[in-house]
Amino acid sequence: MTIYEEQGEQFRPSPSMIAMASTGIAAVLIGAAVATLTVALTATLLSRYGGWTEEWLVFAPLLDQQLTGLFSSPPLENIYRLAGLIIPGVCLLAAFSLIQFWPFQHTLASHLVLQGCALGLIAYGVVTPAFEPLALRGIETAYGLAPLATTGLLGACGIWCAMLIERRAIEVTANIWWMDTVPRRLRRWLPRIPIPFLVLAAFAWWNDNEPLAYAQLIVMGATLLENISRTPRSTFEEIRRPHMREAAFTTPLLAATCIAGVVWAFGVSHHEKLPPRVANLSSPRRLTLEPLSTMRALIDQRMAVKRAQERRRIEAERLRTEAEKPKIDIRWSHPRKKGR
């Protein structure tokens, strides 16, 4: 039963299949751009906490591994002990906020965009760290959790959250179409989810980012599992602008702008004309894009200087402690026993 229960489905206002596919695919791509920027900003804040006190560096590639690309030099490698759990926590909180507290009007297009952003946060921020070797090693070092257990925990959490997000999308669309059978739910799932996730997974695999490719496929499979596992409950919501005529044009345009901006700014590893770059905020009024290799070399050089300074400090502390020890020479004597 839906808000349009008294009418037949053919009389309910609903979008065309083209509008549904156009808006749904664009929503997932927008979510990918938003998620990669969220993960990058969280990693930047953690790097400041982990020991980097120089420029503000943001590395937010759409396809590369963000932490491995920039923040793997010691002592910045200590970020993995924090990032492995903090980044998934931040992304989970952001995803739940999007699906529970809608900041826009209750239009069908806004629901789809927010669902795409939430799924992107789960894919990039929760499931991907479950397959990154350095993140798993950092969690094992800091918390003593075996890599296999960490992968299972983050993977299960990501699957559960992706199913919850898709359940919310099904409940929203159930106010427009009949969604009481599996074929009807799959008919609304196919235009939205498989194409963008398969495209993102293929490009991530081409860019040698296997963890992200696995994450995209797992999230897509979780949404499919939700569609075939249960019938949605009735929410009786008023969904505005169900035809999505304007959104079918503006949402893909926004998605293309977001993807082009992220790729142009941060580059792609396997593209010679768009090498990976880092946003370097050296001052509040100056923002430059530096090659990733240059910034990695700069980080390695500065970290080497800091390690040398730390070694000299430790050696000076040791010499000072040795100098403060009392100079007492105690010689023990062993008197002979009588009768010898």
- Give residue 8's pLDDT: 47
Radius of gyration of the chain (CA): 27
- Give residue 252's pLDDT: 92
- Give residue 3's pLDDT: 46
Task: Give the mean model confidence (pLDDT) for residues 150-158.
Answer: 92
Confidence of residue 13 (pLDDT cuts 50, 70, 90): low
* pLDDT more than 70, % of the chain: 84
User: How do the domains of the chain map onto residue ranges?
Assistant: 14-244+253-274
- Give residue 234's pLDDT: 66
At 145, which helix (H) or strand (E)? none
Confidence of residue 216 (pLDDT cuts 50, 70, 90): very high
- Give residue 256's pLDDT: 94
Higher pLDDT, 65 or 114: 114
- Give residue 46's pLDDT: 82
Helix 133-143 / helix 147-173 crossing angle, nearest 10 deg: 110
Q: What is the pLDDT of residues 167-208, one digit of tens each?
A: 888 888 887 778 788 888 898 899 889 999 999 999 999 988
Range of 17-31, 50-64, 286-300, 324-338 with top mean pLDDT: 17-31
Is the predicted pLDDT of residue 236 greater than 70, yes or no?
no
DSSP letters for 193-240: THHHHHHHHHHHHHTT-HHHHHHHHHHHHHHHHHHHH-PPPP-----B
Q: What are the structure tokens assigned to 210, written together?
A: 């296997």
DSSP letters for 245-307: TTHHHHHHHHHHHHHHHHHHHH--TT-TTS--EEEEEEETTEEEEEEHHHHHHHHHHHHHHHH
Task: Give the mean model confidence (pLDDT) for residues 103-108.
Answer: 68
Higher pLDDT, 10 or 296: 296
* pLDDT more than 90, % of the chain: 28
3-state helix, strand, coil in the chain (%, to 5): 65, 5, 30
Residue 20: count other Cβ atoms within 10 Å of its Cβ: 22
Is the predicted pLDDT of residue 60 greater than 60, yes or no?
yes
Task: Collapse the DSSP code of 335 into the 3-class scheme (helix H, G, I; strand E, B; otherwise coil) and give the result.
Answer: coil
Task: Give the mean model confidence (pLDDT) for residues 287-297.
Answer: 83
Q: What is the pLDDT of residues 329-338, one digit of tens each?
A: 555 565 565 5
- Give residue 105's pLDDT: 57
Task: Collapse the DSSP code of 56 into the 3-class scheme (helix H, G, I; strand E, B; otherwise coil) and give the result.
Answer: strand
Is the predicted pLDDT of residue 28 greater than 90, yes or no?
yes
- Give residue 80's pLDDT: 65
Angstrom CA distances, 37 to 20, 313, 334, stand at 26, 38, 76
Range of 229-233, 254-258, 335-339 with top mean pLDDT: 254-258
Mean pLDDT of the chain: 82
- Give residue 337's pLDDT: 58
Task: Give the mean model confidence (pLDDT) for residues 147-167.
Answer: 91
- Give residue 224's pLDDT: 94
Distance from the Cα of residue 40 to its chain's centroid? 8
